[in-house]
Amino acid sequence: MISIIYLVGPHVVKTEKRDEAPELLEKDGIVFSLRGGPRQPKPTDRVWDSVAVYAPDELTEEEFQDLYELNRSQVPELNLHY
């Protein structure tokens, strides 16, 4: 199983579990592109699924990086080591 992280906007994140992580996904009328993963986190005190990060397809890489940093504090999967 893969934990899908949708970076929708600043401090707006949605998550779901999926069997696959395709290049593009549509959710709530927004097309998201795969920006990272799926990757398996290094072991911690709990077992983590693989993680894939998605952001709106129209974002540039720089805009994605800014959005990623804005959401790191509220999404544990974004702070794991891979």
Q: Which of 40, 38, 49 is nearest to 81 (CA)?
A: 40
Question: Six-digit token pair at 16?
Answer: 């779901």
Q: pLDDT tier at 26 (50, 70, 90 boundaries)?
A: very high
Q: Which of 49, 41, 42, 22 is nearest to 33 (CA)?
A: 22
Q: 44 pLDDT exceeds 90?
A: no
Average confidence (pLDDT) over 54-75: 95
Domain range for residue 27? 2-79
Number of domain units in the chain: 1
Q: 27 pLDDT exceeds 90?
A: yes
Share the mean pLDDT of the chain. 93
Dihedrals φ, ψ of 56, to 5°?
A: -50, 135
pTM given for the model = 0.91
Average confidence (pLDDT) over 18-41: 95
